[in-house]
Amino acid sequence: MFIIPSDIWEDMIDHARGHAPRECCGMLAGTDNRVTRQYRITNILAKLNEAELARFDQPKLSDLKQLAPEERADIAFQMDARELSQAQKDIRQRGIELQAFYHSHTMSPARPSATDITLAMEFEHCRAALNLPQPLHVIVSLEDRDHPVMRAYRIEASRATEVPVRRQ
């Protein structure tokens, strides 16, 4: 069970709504499966040039290239690397642990896409060397605008398994 306090839960939904139709992204940290800290991270996808988009898988890449740069964040996200490290540093200094990455899906359900899984696995291959705990991947779906849905997943061996999440 992964526990997200109500104020952070609400703020994640506000974050997602505030960026819709763009995807938002961020990080969650805490201890013992309970989140105590949330970090909003900038989705810099629109700032990536065509060569930099090459990190996305082929189907996603061709979709991205068909869109104007400012529209690309509607269907994907890329965290700002500096902000991510800044958050990691803050997490270390507070003596808490990185627990999850989160992002929004503004027009699709709260489950990881093929691209989400591929790119999470890339991180998974780097993570152990950095002594980071395995993060969950939380998705906030605004598919039904009036009823946002939040779900958490563990992604390993290219498979996503849902982890129950509770608002408390």
The footprint of other proteins (CB under 8 A) covers: 23, 25, 44-45, 47-48, 51-52, 54-56, 59-60, 63-64, 74-82, 84-86, 88-89, 101, 103, 105-109, 112-113, 115-116, 119-123, 125-126, 129-131, 137
R_g over Cα of the chain: 15
- Residue 87's SS3 state is helix
| 74 forms part of the interface with Zn ion (CB under 5 A) | no
Q: Which does 100 bind (CB under 5 to 8 A by kind): other proteins, Zn ion, none?
A: none
Q: Round to whole Å and give the CA distance between 62 and 28.
A: 31
Write the binding mask 108 to 127 for Zn ion: x where contact by CB under 5 A, - elsewhere.
Answer: -----x--x-----------
Distances (CA, A) of 46 to 25, 73, 78: 14, 6, 9
In the structure encoding, which two tokens stand for residue 97, read together? 């642990």
Contacts (Cβ under 8 Å, ≥6 apart) of 55: 119
Q: Which does 126 bind (CB under 5 to 8 A by kind): other proteins, Zn ion, none?
A: other proteins
Sites of contact with Zn ion (CB under 5 A): 113, 116
